[in-house]
Chains A and B, each alone.
Chain A
Amino acid sequence: MARRARGAGRTFVKTVVDVEGRTEERVVEVPAFEPDPWAEAADLAIVGTRAPRADATEKVTGRARYTADMTRPGMLHALILRSPIARGTLTSYDVAAARAVPGVVDVLGPGDAPPKARLFPREIAYAGQPVAAVCAESLEAAAAGARAMRTAFAPQPFAATFESATAPGAPLVRPKGNVMDGSPVVEQRGDVEAGLRAADVVVRREYRTPVQLHSAIEPHGAVAEWEADRLTIWESTQGIFRVRQQVAAALDMPQSKVRVIKQYMGGGFGAKNGAAAHTYVAALFARRTGRPVRCVLSRKAEQSDAGNRPATTQRVTIGATRDGTLTAIALSADIPLGVGGWEGGPGQIYHELYACPNVRTEETFAYVNASAMQAFRAPGYAEGAFGLESAMNALARELGMDPLALRQRNFAGVDPRRARPWSGNALRECYDEAARRFDWVRRETRRHAAAPGPLPTVVRGFGMAAQLWPTGGGPPSYAHVRVNNDGSIDVLAGTQDLGTGARTVLAQIAAEALGAKLDDVRAVIGDTESLPYTGNSWGSMTTPSVGPAARMAAEDARRLLLEAAAPMLGVEPSDLEVHDSRVMVRDTDRSMTIREVAAQLGDVMIIGRGTRGPNPPDRTIATFGAQFAEVEVDVGTGVVRVLRIVAAHDAGRIINPTLAESQLEGGVIQGLGYALFEERVLDAKTGVPLNADLHDYRIPTIADVPAIEAFFVGRADPIANHVGARGLAEPPIIPTAPAIAAAVADAIGAEVTQIPLTPWRVRAALARTHGDQ
């Protein structure tokens, strides 16, 4: 195995890692060696194949156990009481009355939790805020206890919108003020004013995007159990080690005494990246009562206080010369975060997607009296793409130019934001291949294909949009590969499978690198107690982060295996190769199975170790894509029906095309919901969510799903990492909404600048443009 030497002999160096669209500088451990990248033309037997999902059988038989299913002997049930007001004070609550309810075992209220858990302040900052918790022999008894508590509140004026929170004299959402420190966040290159002066055409628009709710079908939940001074938590989470760190810190315990387990979870999408109130409630009740405790959110709580994609208002100005060359892009954005959050704003994609010399973004983040945002599949980029790509489509209409040609003209051959090359970029192939499969050039022939009805009220339209998402992943991630003495092989990594397929993909990578049959390899994940550290499964980074560590561990195990087998076969290790779980002497018919080698080793165990090395310092790693949409709009009712989406993406090497395509389809379908229906609504008078369920907050059903043709173009990316894979789960949601909105605009000859594209918004746009019909 060829090896890459450790740089300058330093073991620990700083590197830049992409996390959910942001970059962070981190100290990383540089491996002593790293395998050479698998070349594009490498003859890979298992990586790149459509292996069945490793845990599919557990899932189709109902045997997969999720946190919400978990029961432990003697387990109690906990329920969190939440504020019905948006701002004010909890004035009274009756713990004794709650305790008197049959079945109630314990109650937690203000002051009962350790300060670091930040539970149950009396001051209320949003509707749905936890104020107390009850634990009981049954969930019904806990609910009865909660009712008996008779909480009372003194409401005060609140500000649940950006406009009201930033108005003079606004109620304070946070003591230090409602505008986030550091806002507005300004980033610019070149001179936007000069760029606009040089433009032949300038388009100005204001776009609005809604609050979108993650709506995982398994709500957030935890089961906690103490054994002496050691705590075990089963948590539906994207980050077992992060939950462990947070719980240990909150409870003032050593991390070594906290174990977090997550084998299966019913969806995350960014909302399950850490411990939350339910985690601490379960852990505290379990400690106080000496019994296991389960705390799973109700659907109402899940839809009102479990994270969301924040709304945005994006004022976009975009200018180009007559031939479509961009001369300036400017964004001024307002982002109401809720009571907390981070700067996952829409601005970044404006700097990255096109080769425009003059770009300026200004984002103002405000705290409002509503539940805090959390990362949601491509945070910032899904919102930003709706503004940027809608403006590009508007510009194409103003120029009388094909929107595809406009994008091809402004293709960014290098990362325009950081002025450095991409590790790989097949966006142009995405444009070409998606356009070809969509038959974009002949789309006009389909325009009048709508079924004739008594009135010609259904019109058809076509649109497209592009996508970029920074997703190189990075260190730290560790993996071990162990060869058991019956020849079965375990890949150990403290990562998570959200339904994305990490279990399958890591086994494929390790089997490939070791030369084992895939059936002989199992990925063991989801337990902090015994597995090497990896980070959260966020930012589409599990495959590019943990994949290289798993490969390296398997290569290390292979090296040891060959050293063990060489004397058994009477040759040198360099004479050996491994395929199909068989160690073979090159150019002979002599061989042993891995099982035979392992059996001869007896209790000597082969353990390979792998570490994810740093990213290349001088490249930007991103995933790209283009989506084309075909829609029908009923101009009488304003109802939009998406007929077809063609999605082409480039994520470097695809480890398992079937599972990867499933991610694309899922992203497109969530993007369709974002485009057409999904919008959290707060009551203007009370600040209370009005659609905190799955009936009035509508996510796509099977009946909403169009024909989706989703596929990958592009090549392995040996510069990004030695596996050649980039992340792919988040990117497909990014361009769907602007592509659908463009198709609607094309169909009706009027632009709807606010998603979701509800029937009344479509009708209003028609009325503005064509007069009431």
Chain B
Amino acid sequence: MRLTLNGRPREVPVEPGERLLALLHRLHLTGAKFGCGQGECGACTVLVNGRLSYSCLALAEACDGLDVVTVEGLGGTADHELAPLQRAFVAYDAAQCGYCTPGQLIAATHLLERHPTPTDDQIREGMSGNLCRCGTYPKIAAAIRAVSRGDFAGGVPGPGANVAPPAARGTETNRGA
């Protein structure tokens, strides 16, 4: 089967009944995670033709001819080039254990494509399909808001040039206070 994977055309063998998540892992793209296998947690979220998809449920063969984007495809082509959302997640400490983070980033990417300056309600609605047991939600919301403000636009500092996290933002909320 042929598909476009993170911007590159690929021809891959698919096994009958294979899920997209299993295919991605077989291709060594392990950013999308197994969390529940039943579309509840969102850790496996990817974009298929620009729409959110739980890759643990999606059949791989149904992606024939489609465009699939995983967390590995969010950054630039250079090895350490991070997308604005990725840099914002680093700066705002929006990943603790990091296991749900790839799915959160995909969902956030999709959210900002639909709503470049999302309201708090739009953030809540757009991100509520992605569970985080560590409780990084306030930081995720803050990172999304920062990107929507343009704080991370332009330039592509690598990991050694991480934007310093903002000073104590204890009053930052996901409800706009």
Checking B80, B138, B171 against A705 with a beta-carbon cut-off of 8 angstroms, the contacting residue is B138
Assign chain B's interface to a size class: 35 or more
How far, in Å, is B107 (CB) from chain A's closest CB? Answer: 10
The answer to whether B71 and A709 touch across the interface, beta carbons within 8 angstroms, is no
B138 in contact with A266 (CB, 8 Å): no
Which residues from chain A contact B33 at a C-beta distance below 8 Å? 66, 68-69, 217-218, 266
User: A498 CA to B170 CA in the complex, in Å?
Assistant: 23
Chain B residues numbered 23-63 whose CB sits less than 8 Å from any CB in chain A:
25, 29-38, 40-41, 43
- CB neighbours (8 Å) of A265 from chain B are 97, 99
Q: Check A668–B162 contact: CB distance below 8 A.
A: no
CB distance from B76 to the nearest CB of A (A): 11
CB-based nearest A residue for B39: A695
Which chain A residues lie closer than 8 Å to B3 at the CB level?
none
In chain A, positions 700-750 with a C-beta closer than 8 Å to chain B are 700-703, 705-711
User: How far does the Cβ of A162 sit from chain B's closest Cβ, in whole Å?
Assistant: 28
* Bound-complex Cα distance A568 to B71 (A): 49
Interface residues of A in 43-93 (CB under 8 A from B): 50, 52-53, 55-66, 68-69, 71
Any chain A CB within 8 A of the CB of B77?
no
CB distance from B71 to the nearest CB of A (A): 4
Contact yes or no, B177 A707, CB < 8 A: yes
Does A57 contact B135, Cβ atoms closer than 8 Å? Answer: no
Sorting the interface of chain A by its residue count into under 10, 10 to 19, 20 to 34 or 35 or more gives 35 or more
Closest residue of chain B to A670 (Cβ to Cβ) is B135
A291 CB to closest chain B CB, in angstroms? 17
Most buried by B among A64, A71, A705: A705
A658 within 8 A of B: yes
Which residues of chain A are near B90, meaning CB under 8 Å?
52-53, 56-57, 60
A657 within 8 A of B: yes
Contact B96 A500 (CB under 8 A): yes
For A61, list chain B residues within 8 Å (CB): 31, 71-72, 75, 82, 86
Chain A residue nearest in CB terms to B173? A707
A686 at the interface (CB under 8 A from B): no
Q: Is A709 in contact with B93, judged by CB distance below 8 angstroms? A: no
Contact with B along A201-243 (1 / 0, CB 8 A): 0000000000000111111000000000000000000000000
Q: What are the residues of chain B within 8 A of A267 when measuring CB–CB?
A: 97, 99, 133-134
The answer to whether A702 touches B174 (Cβ under 8 A) is yes
Counting CB contacts under 8 A, is A665 at the interface? yes
**Contact in complex: A702, B82 (CB < 8 Å):** no
Within the assembled complex, what's the spacing in Å between the Cα atoms of A216 and B33?
13
Could you tell me the distance between the alpha carbons of A540 and B123 in the complex, rounded to whole angstroms?
32
Of A214, A662, A667, A670, the residue contacting B139 (CB under 8 A) is A662
A residues near B14, Cβ cutoff 8 Å = none
Write the chain A residue with the least CB distance to B28: A71
Determine how close the nearest CB of chain A comes to the CB of B68; give it in whole angstroms: 14
Q: Which residues of A contact B124 (CB under 8 A)?
A: 702-703
Distance (whole angstroms) from the CB of A103 to the closest CB of chain B: 11
In the complex, which residues of chain B have a beta carbon less than 8 angstroms from the beta carbon of A643? 175
Query: Is residue A429 within 8 Å, beta carbon to beta carbon, of the partner chain?
Result: no
Q: Which of B25, B38, B70, B93 contacts A299 (CB 8 A)?
A: B38
A264 within 8 A of B: yes
In the assembled complex, the CB of A292 is this many whole angstroms from the nearest CB of chain B, namely: 15
Distance in angstroms between the alpha carbons of A79 and B125 in the assembled complex: 36
From the candidates A52, A140, A216, A666, name the one contacting B136 in the complex (CB within 8 A).
Answer: A666
Q: A519 near B32 (CB under 8 angstroms)? A: no
Judge if A298 is at the interface, Cβ distance under 8 Å: yes
For residue A368, CB closer than 8 A to chain B, the reply is: no
CB of A677 closer than 8 Å to a CB of B? no
A56: B residues at CB distance < 8 A: 89-90, 93, 95, 98, 162
Please tell me if the beta carbons of B98 and A58 are within 8 angstroms of each other in the complex: yes
Q: How far is the CB of A404 from chain B (nearest CB, A)?
A: 20
- Please pick, from A50, A498, A663, A695, the residue contacting B40 in the complex, using a CB distance under 8 A: A695
- CB-CB < 8 A to B41: which residues of A? 217, 299, 694
Docked-complex contact A705 and B133, CB < 8 angstroms: no
* Residue A381 CB within 8 A of the other chain: no
Contacts A52-B165, A299-B36, A702-B128 given; indicate if A218 touches B170 (C-beta within 8 A). no
Which of B125, B162, B173 touches A708 (beta carbons < 8 Å)? B173
Question: Assuming the A-B contacts A703-B128, A707-B175, are A217 and B100 also in contact, with contact meaning beta carbons closer than 8 angstroms in the complex?
Answer: yes
Alpha-carbon distance between A703 and B122 when the two chains are bound, in angstroms: 10
Shortest B33–chain A CB gap in Å is: 7
**Complex: chain B residue closest to A667, CB-CB:** B135
How distant is B164 from chain A, measured CB to nearest CB, in Å?
Answer: 7
Question: Are B127 and A693 closer than 8 Å at their CB atoms?
Answer: no
A699 at the interface (CB under 8 A from B): yes
Within 8 A of A (CB), among B125-147: 125, 127-141
Report whether B93 and A266 are in contact in the complex, using a CB–CB cutoff of 8 Å. Answer: no
**Contacting residues, chain A, for B138 (C-beta < 8 A):** 665, 705, 708
CB-contact partner of A665 in B34, B100, B135, B162, under 8 A: B135
B160 within 8 A of A: yes
A705-B174 CB under 8 A given contacts A298-B37, A299-B36: yes
**Measured between C-beta atoms, what is the minimum distance from A302 to chain B in Å?**
8
The docked-state distance in angstroms from the alpha carbon of A68 to that of B174 is: 31
Once the chains bind, are A662 and B93 in contact (CB under 8 Å)? yes
Partner of B71, one of A62, A299, A657: A62
C-alpha spacing A267/B95, complex, angstroms:
11
How far apart are the CA atoms of A619 and B100 in the complex, in Å?
40
Are the CB atoms of B133 and A659 closer together than 8 Å?
no
Which single residue of chain B is at the shortest CB-CB distance from A659?
A: B93
Given contacts A265-B97, A667-B135, A670-B133, contact A62 B165 (CB under 8 A): no
Residue A367 interfacial (CB < 8 Å)? no
| Cβ-defined contact, A57 with B159, below 8 A | yes
Are A264 and B98 in contact (CB-based, < 8 A)?
Answer: yes
Complex CA distance for A599 and B21, rounded to whole angstroms? 47
Closest to B105 in A: A60
- Alpha-carbon distance A269/B96, docked complex (angstroms): 12
Residues of B within 8 A of A (CB): 17, 25, 29-38, 40-41, 43, 70-72, 75, 80, 82, 86, 89-91, 93, 95-102, 105, 123-125, 127-141, 159-160, 162, 164-165, 167-168, 170-171, 173-175, 177
10 A-B pairs closest in CB distance: A62-B31, A499-B97, A266-B99, A59-B98, A666-B135, A669-B135, A707-B173, A499-B96, A69-B30, A57-B159
Other than the given A61-B82, A140-B17, 6 more pairs (CB < 8 A) read A60-B71, A65-B30, A266-B35, A267-B97, A269-B133, A706-B173
